[in-house]
Structure formats: C-alpha cells, structure tokens
Amino acid sequence: MGKTDTLKERIATKRELLKSLFLLLIATLSGSFTVLYKVATKETDLTLLIMFASGITASAFLAIILVKLYKEIESLSEELENE
C-alpha cells in the first residue's frame, strides 16, 4: 500500500467515526432537552436537572471532539491533495 492509499483509508475511518459521534451528539442533546421539558412541565422531580446538566456537559465535550476530528480530516485531505 502506498502513502495515498494509507491516507485514503485513514480519512475514511475518521469520517465513519465522525458520523458515529455526530449521531451520539444528537442523541445526547435530544435526551437532555427531553429531560428539561419534563422538568419544565412538572412531570418529574427537579433532581433530574442534574441529568440535564450532565447531558449538556457531555454534549459540549462531544462537540469539541467533533471539531478536532473534523480538523484532522481536513489536514489529511490537504496532505492527500499535495501527494
């Protein structure tokens, strides 16, 4: 395998990881706001606000990881173009 094939495979792997993490981000955000809605309509206790806060925190970390991963994909793509 040449260097271009290796770069293409690394880009493909990182894109699959990017898709998976994006779906996890969407699931985490939707779950967090569902909990917030339930608390706002007083269907559950206020103690579930802790779950909302932890979900938003996890979403923030996922978003940071997604941005870093996207930048890695961009740099690998540029490296592939320079080949």
Q: What is the pLDDT along the chain (83 residues), one digit of tens a residue?
A: 688 889 899 999 999 999 999 999 999 999 999 999 999 998 888 888 999 999 999 999 999 999 999 999 999 999 988 87
CA distances, 30 to each of 17, 42, 54 (Å): 20, 18, 13
Closest CA to 3 of 81, 73, 69, 71: 81
pTM (whole model) above 0.75:
yes
